Amino acid sequence: MKHAAEDAGRLVLLRHGQSTTNAEGRFTGWADVPLTAYGEHQALVAAELLARTGLAPDFVHTSVLRRAVHTADLLLAHLDRAWIPVRRTWRLNERQYGALTGRRKAEVRRESGPAQYEAWRRSLTGAPGPLPAVDLAALRADPRYAALAGHGVPAVESLADVITRIAPYWADVLAPHIRRGRTVLVVSHGNALRALVAVLDRLTPDEVEQLNIPTAAPLHYTFDAALRPTARGGRYLDPARAKAAAKAVAAEGHH
């Protein structure tokens, strides 16, 4: 059903609620960690925001990592929309942080220095060392990644690499829903959503470095008939909270 007064559908981007490694200040990457109790609460608060603003989704897309899956499941149950189509894909996984996976951010910043730390976290092309071979082998044996047979599971990624895997998912899967006037919810991860925003808004490398996505803060995009965002950067449903939370993300590891 086409939404009145809109040329196309609507897209809501949602980073999962707080995970255990978020709470511990660690790099997570493709490690499959659960939500904290607070993260579960955040999912319900996000659901209330969607309900109050009339953004009940028609389709949901998540990564295959449990923190995104659980956030989406909690949200849909709260909205009484657990029956709608849900698609899960590795393309919406968090960035593969390689050798940094599981390490405390503050410790990495002290060891590597502020400039290198920020390049690894926020630049377009910076990437740390690869995931240790034993951990990479375990990922490659995980049935979730059977479609990535052989060496398809990355040992490490830059944000540019994440953009490369997310851009076709936007063009081939998400955009067709939008063209049909549907409301689409994407529940994913901080860097995966940075990559998707970079595609939508055609961000420059400097803009990419400045972009931080807070947990469980719904970000709403509308589009014109040519599928261009009507407002660059979209609109957070709770702008004040999102701004404060994004500032906290930018400061991770600094203390």
Catalytic residues: 16, 94
CA 115, 121, 125, 130 torsion-angle sign: positive
Distance CA 218, CA 243 (A): 12
Distance CA 63, CA 94 (A): 8
Distance CA 231, CA 224 (A): 10
| Amino acid, single-letter form, for residue 153 | V
Return left, alpha or beta for 95; rule: phi > 0 is left, psi -120 to 50 is alpha, else beta: beta
Identify the burial level of 203 via C-beta atoms within 10 angstroms of its C-beta, where 0-12 means exposed, 13-18 middle and 19 or more buried.
buried
Task: Take residue 228 and report the two structure tokens written for it.
Answer: 């261009």
Distance CA 156, CA 124 (A): 14
